[in-house]
Amino acid sequence: MNIGISASLILSDLGMFSISYLPRLVFREFDLRSVSMKVWIDVLTPKHALFFEPLYRDLARQGHELLLTTRTYREAQEALELKRLPFRTVGEHGGASRYGKLLASARRVLRLAQLIENWRPDTAVSFSSPEAARVAFGLAVPHVAVNDSPHSWLVARLSIPLSRYVCSPWIIPRRVWLSFGARPDGIVAYRALDAAAWLKRHRPNPAVLKQLSLKSGRPIILLRTEESFASYLEGKASDKAPVIGPVTEEILRRKLDAQIVISTRYGRQAPVLRQMFGNRVRVIDHIVDTTSLLYYSTIFIGSGGTMTVEAALLGRPAISCFPGPKPLYIKYLEKRGLVQTIRSPRRIAQEVGRILSSEEEREEQQRRGTSLLHQMEDPIRIISGVVRKTWRKTEN
């Protein structure tokens, strides 16, 4: 499958693309109800839980047997519990250092190998989990890798060459995956950003406001900390000094009539931010329904990726202060006028004040963001077809 979009086109003209007139990506869908499969899904982060929940439930409804694994990592486990998905915990997060990641990955491969050898799945699916890819490859189980983050090149190098298929948003050029060792006949693109997989199914729940003691009548400024343990942010971020700390300080100086909420990732980030801001800011140190929280928020400021995309597709003004190499999906949303990248805390605070004063601009942003989401296809339907195709090929 050749999506025929060059890197230069993405960087210069992608903002002009309308989903409706992109070249149709032809991929045959299979009837997953005709056979019974055993499918192993490995989940490493909260995003993976959000993305794979609909795939898990669709396959379960069709009578297939599923095994969902994760690792000892608070956010991933809490996200799966929030979604009420059954899972088995195998291994742990390796922390920020390369040595810690290597040891944790090696131990996890050993434990997963024992589990998967006994369970014997027909297909494995993960968001490019290096351990899932290695174990599946070693046990001759076809692995379907989902990946929207070639900027996380260490993960890509450890997983893409061992995968039968790689599924990704259409904005990532085919040659990117080929350079990582993907099979030429195994690259599948969907005309959507990953967040569409759960946003198309999501129903906002106002209970999250009560849970966090927030008032629906006042503007909410939501900030998200960076993934400081990620390999692609090595040397660029620290959980002891979150990027959004100075941003929050500048916003507070402006004394805006708004509620400020910070969603943190790792155990050390929340105490650091509470010490900095006390009760002037609501700091979240556990998993909540952040998609609903985004829906009820007025402005979003993110130093990560997933929630920035969510905010943009929900039509919320989104500012990115991502400290690493800019992901392709952020570049795409910038071209569509749905995300601004600003790294100066003072400029971010100025922009927040301006947006809060312009209800007309916020309404237009919501119209354009939700329109783009509506045009996107459902990634889960495409991946379901890939899972079925993978199983059929192993049977032949």
Strands 220-224, 259-263: pairing is parallel
Whether 357 and 278 map to the same domain: the answer is yes
> Who contacts 239 (Cβ-Cβ below 8 Å, separation ≥6)?
96, 225, 228, 229, 265, 266, 268, 269, 272
Give 270-295 pLDDT, tens digit per residue: 889 999 999 999 999 989 999 999 99
Asked whether residue 12 is domain-assigned, the answer is: no
Asked whether residue 8 is domain-assigned, the answer is: no
Name the most confidently modeled range: 25-39, 77-91, 215-229.
77-91
Whether 56 and 104 map to the same domain: the answer is yes
Residue type (1 letter), 88? R
Q: Sheet harboring 299-302: ordered strands across?
A: 282-284, 259-263, 220-224, 299-302, 318-320, 339-341
Averaged pLDDT for residues 42-49 = 96
Q: Which domain holds residue 246?
A: 207-375
Give 340-354 pLDDT, tens digit per residue: 999 999 999 999 999
Give 1-27 pLDDT, tens digit per residue: 333 333 333 333 343 344 433 333 444
Output the pLDDT for position 324.
78
Whether 43 and 104 map to the same domain: the answer is yes
Whether 67 and 172 map to the same domain: the answer is yes
Nearest to 199 by CA among 10, 27, 318, 371: 371
Asked whether residue 9 is domain-assigned, the answer is: no
Asked whether residue 39 is domain-assigned, the answer is: yes
Output the pLDDT for position 394.
55
Output the pLDDT for position 243.
86
Output the pLDDT for position 392.
59
Whether 229 and 193 map to the same domain: the answer is no
Nearest to 326 by CA among 340, 345, 346, 337: 340
Tell me how far apart the terminal alpha carbons of the chain are, to the nearest angstrom. 21
The total domain count for the chain is 2
Q: Does residue 180 register a pLDDT over 50?
A: yes
pTM comes to 0.86
Output the pLDDT for position 269.
84
Least confident window among 51-60, 77-86, 319-328: 319-328
Asked whether residue 46 is domain-assigned, the answer is: yes
Residue type (1 letter), 214? L
Give 96-107 pLDDT, tens digit per residue: 788 999 999 999
Asked whether residue 5 is domain-assigned, the answer is: no
Whether 246 and 301 map to the same domain: the answer is yes
* Domain containing residue 109: CATH number: 3.40.50.2000
Whether 29 and 40 map to the same domain: the answer is yes
Whether 71 and 88 map to the same domain: the answer is yes
Whether 189 and 216 map to the same domain: the answer is no
Whether 232 and 174 map to the same domain: the answer is no
Output the pLDDT for position 32.
45
Nearest to 263 by CA among 44, 46, 53: 46
Averaged pLDDT for residues 261-269 = 84
Q: How confident is the model at residue 304 (pLDDT cuts 50, 70, 90)?
A: confident
Give 237-264 pLDDT, tens digit per residue: 455 678 899 999 999 999 999 999 999 9
